[in-house]
Copies of this chain bind each other. A is one copy, B any other.
Amino acid sequence: MSPRVSEEHLKQRRASILKAATGVFIEHGYEKTTMKHVMDAAGVSRGGLYQYFSNKEDLFEAILEEGLNEEAEQSLASLKKSSTSYWHLLMQIIFGEDATPDTNMDPLAPSKLEFFITGRNDERRRAYGERRYEMGLKIYADIIKEGQQAGEFRTTHHADTIARSIITFIDGLALDHAILPEEKVRLKEQSELFVQYLNYALIGADSSS
């Protein structure tokens, strides 16, 4: 009675599968990728793959979960550097470290949209999507509320409504970006305009930065 098998290097294998799978999902999208694709990309057999993940949905959720952890860390890190202002903090969370609209997007975003849209009639998937939405919503809403309490943001609008609008806008951009070629979306211009919008809703002045 001793754990005769390998140790925590199961983690490595699992991670390697997850990494390969991520690449596959990025390339083919959620619906179109098959376990075969993942097997080939990860260099693992059918049985081997199923030992770690019982199906595609399970696999994809594992990837989502990973991303969630990273995000959580990052936003926490940002929060700690929030010395400047709530506005800057908000920009950081939306646009990343440099707090400025750029042309980068999560390459997995299209697959995520697929995952939730095509699964919208599935009880479980729907509930999962809602949980994630709530989490994202809370992050934005909390900051806005704090900013309002600190007097930095005006209280003309409900923090909640504005937070929802942020998500809606980001989702819209992700969607358009998934479907249309780079040139047609104009990520940067639209983001800048959106920042102005936020500035208008939160501060009221006309200088966005």
Residue numbers of A with Cβ under 8 A of B are: 28-29, 31-32, 110, 113-114, 116-118, 120-121, 126, 129-130, 133-134, 157-158, 161-162, 164-165, 167-173, 175-176, 178-181, 184-186, 189-190, 193-194, 196-197, 200-201
Partner of A175 from the list B164, B175, B181, B184 (CB cut-off 8 Å) is: B175
Q: What are the 10 A-B residue pairs with the smallest beta carbon separation, nearest first?
A: A172-B172, A168-B172, A171-B172, A197-B197, A161-B189, A171-B175, A31-B118, A116-B179, A129-B179, A114-B117
Instruction: List chain B residues, Cβ under 8 A from A178.
Output: 117, 120
Q: How far is the CA of A164 from the CA of B200 in the complex (A)?
A: 19
A110 / chain B contacts, CB cutoff of 8 Å: 117, 120
Instruction: Determine whether the beta carbon of A190 is less than 8 Å from that of B161.
Output: yes
Which residues on the B side are within 8 Å of A164 (C-beta)? Answer: 185-186, 189-190
A32 x B121 contact (CB < 8 A): yes
A141 to B98, CA, bound (A): 31
> Are B179 and A117 in contact (CB-based, < 8 A)?
yes
Taken together, the copies of this chain in the complex come to: 2
Q: How far is the CA of A32 from the CA of B125 in the complex (A)?
A: 15
Residue among A110, A113, A157 having the largest count of chain B Cβ atoms under 10 Å: A113
Contacts of A158 in B (CB 8 A): 189
Q: B201 near A130 (CB under 8 angstroms)?
A: no
Residues of B contacting A31 in the complex (Cβ-Cβ under 8 angstroms)? 31, 118
Contact of A172 among B117, B134, B169, B189 (CB under 8 A): B169
Q: Which residues of B contact A161 (CB under 8 A)?
A: 186, 189-190, 193
Whether the Cβ atoms of B121 and A175 lie closer than 8 Å is no
Q: Which of chain B's residues has its CB closest to A118's CB? A: B31
Most chain B beta-carbon neighbours within 10 Å: one of A130, A133, A165, A200? A165
